[in-house]
A = this chain, B = another copy of it.
Amino acid sequence: MLLHTLYLIAIVAEAMSGALMGMRRGMDRFGLCLIGTVTALGGGTVRDVLLGHYPLAWISHPDYVLITIMAAAIAAAGARWLRHLQNLFVSVDALGLIAFTIIGCDIASTLALSPLIVVLAGAITGVCGGMLRDLLCNEMPLVLRQDLYASIALGAAALYLALQHVGVAHGVATLVVLVSGFTVRMLAVRFRWQFKVFTAADTGGAH
């Protein structure tokens, strides 16, 4: 229930952020709706294709597609105002990352897979929408070099599984992971935490 609400909020936020990125890359109205939809629904799609888990969520719930298309269209129409809401976007995106990750873990858990794969499925759900967005915008995915985004998804998924493993109730585990994952993500954004980024120098020479 809580998760489903968060899911809907998250796909709206992701669709809007995808559309705003598309605008900066000179896409037309159709492109914005497509990139918004891919950003919002791409993570779950990649997960389900890799797991062979059919039908995909948006194919059995076409209203998800309508929601993301409308969210992208609204973002395009209101872009001038949305930029003042950047802090709100970052927060909603952080919540969405954790919600996507938990949902991904839940789906993988129903398939009797090894814990490592469940954790990966969760992180893939959280992260791959943004990776597809970046690929379609012809940029190297941000997640490959940025501020702990994917690591937080992995950590949240691992924590979620560990809590359930030691007997914590599903609802409690969800809440704990949502709050702690969200907090760590916001701290990472606020204090610009990041892993060491490697450069050509680290490979011992020019290339």
Instruction: Find the B residue at minimum CB distance from A19.
Output: B198
The reply to whether B144 and A22 contact each other, CB–CB distance below 8 Å, is: yes
The reply to whether B140 and A202 contact each other, CB–CB distance below 8 Å, is: no
Q: For residue A200, which residues in chain B have a CB less than 8 angstroms away from its CB? A: 23-24
Q: How large is the interface on A (under 10, 10 to 19, 20 to 34, 35 or more residues)?
A: 35 or more
Is A59's beta carbon under 8 Å from chain B?
yes
A140-182 CB contact bits vs B (8 Å, 1 = yes)?
1101111010110010000000000000000000000000000
Q: For residue A22, which residues in chain B have a CB less than 8 angstroms away from its CB? A: 144, 198
* Given contact pairs A26-B145, A29-B198, a sample of 10 additional A-B residue pairs in the complex whose CB atoms are under 8 Å apart: A20-B203, A23-B200, A27-B145, A27-B197, A28-B195, A31-B143, A52-B56, A66-B116, A79-B198, A137-B140
